Amino acid sequence: MEYNQFKSMEKRDLHVHLNGAIPKENIIKFIKEQNIVIPDGFNLNTNLQIKNPVSSLREYFLPWEVLKLLPRDYDTLCNMVEKAIEKLVSDNINYVEFRNSPFYISKLNNIPLNEAVSWLVNALLDNSIKFNIDARLILSLTRHELNDGQGIELLKAIKASNRYNVIVGVDMSGDEDVFVPKEINKFFLKAKEEYGLNITIHAGETGNFENIKWAISECNADRIGHGSAAKFSEYTLNLIKERDVCLEVCLYSNLMSGNCADLYEHPIRTFLEWDIPFVLCTDNPSVHGKLLSEEYLLFLKYFDRLDVINDMEIRTEKYSFG
């Protein structure tokens, strides 16, 4: 099957970070228009994308040193969302769940968190109509930036701002080697039980399968971001299967972040053997310069399972939160 055939398929992407989906040339334009001072030594031409494998997640997060300096007003946020959606629509994506952590938008603009969340919801609604795409939002806590009370604050902001059910879930992302208080599970349980939100958590992206077990058993996760480390634990693989938890697999991201040196050895091989539910996603398409069609093509090249690609529309619909 050729790239153009994948491109012409209608697709759903369930794991995309909003900031990682905005094309590089648009980021540079926004930075220049707003006279934003970037960190010393940051090269806008080379450091906004990761096109070769790095050696740690921390290194992989380098583009966010600049991505997090935007937006400085609502119109810029709306334009950022527009450019991200335009790119996805060019690849025939008709449903997307964008992830974002709204705390930095609140800080950058000196506005309450619920207003920052409203900005995101409104920007998504406006552009969904314009591009005829169903765009939803998953709001994330960041492991290495967690503060007391953040979870409750986020849930209150969601309740105040969730027009037309644009916000469909909550997540936790960031450096998995950072200590996270285990009681944060109460945030996820409350989000699900009291607010009717779905749960996905970045877990086992690096080598720690305990994070996957914790996310499923203690936080009631419906999906897991990456979940690569599950291959090291039969107990975890069984747990994923028993609970019908879907893994969001992002091949280019795992290559670029240095978590997988050789795709032939990627844990997806184990997931296929165990018949573990997974969907293919992009994570940060503009950071890698790769669209979902290219993820499908890469999967086919290494694993030769066209039946899985053909099943992707059904899978992504079954496990989507919207």
Interface residues with Zn ion (CB under 5 A)?
283
| Long-range contact pairs involving 185-191 (C-beta distance under 8 Å, separation at least 24) | 185/214, 185/218, 185/219, 186/151, 187/141, 187/151, 187/152, 187/154, 187/155, 188/219, 188/220, 188/221, 189/219, 189/220, 190/151, 190/155, 191/151, 191/155
Q: Which C-beta is closer to Zn ion: that of 97 or that of 283?
A: 283
CB of 159 to Zn ion, least distance (A): 25
Using the minimum distance from each CB to Zn ion, give the nearer residue, 31 or 247: 247
Report, in Å, the least distance between residue 82 CB and Zn ion.
Answer: 22
Closest approach, Cβ 193 to Zn ion, in A, equals 25
Q: Between residues 114 and 257, which has the closer beta carbon with respect to Zn ion?
A: 257
Least spacing, CB of residue 142 vs Zn ion, in Å: 11
Strands annotated E in the chain: 11-17, 93-100, 134-142, 167-173, 198-203, 223-226, 246-249, 278-280
| Residues 192 and 158: beta-carbon distance below 8 Å | no
CB of 257 to Zn ion, least distance (A): 10
> Closer to Zn ion at the Cβ: 283 or 295?
283
Encoded amino acid at 101, one letter: S
Shortest gap between Cβ of 205 and Zn ion (angstroms)? 8
DSSP, residue by residue, 163-205:
GGG-EEEEEEES-TTS---GGGHHHHHHHHHTT--EEEEEESS
Nearest residue (CB) to Zn ion, 31 versus 167? 167
Q: Select the residue whose beta carbon is closest to Zn ion and give its number.
A: 283
- Picking from 78, 57, 70, the residue whose alpha carbon sits closest to that of residue 109 is 70
Q: Which is nearer to Zn ion, 101 or 106 (CB)?
A: 101
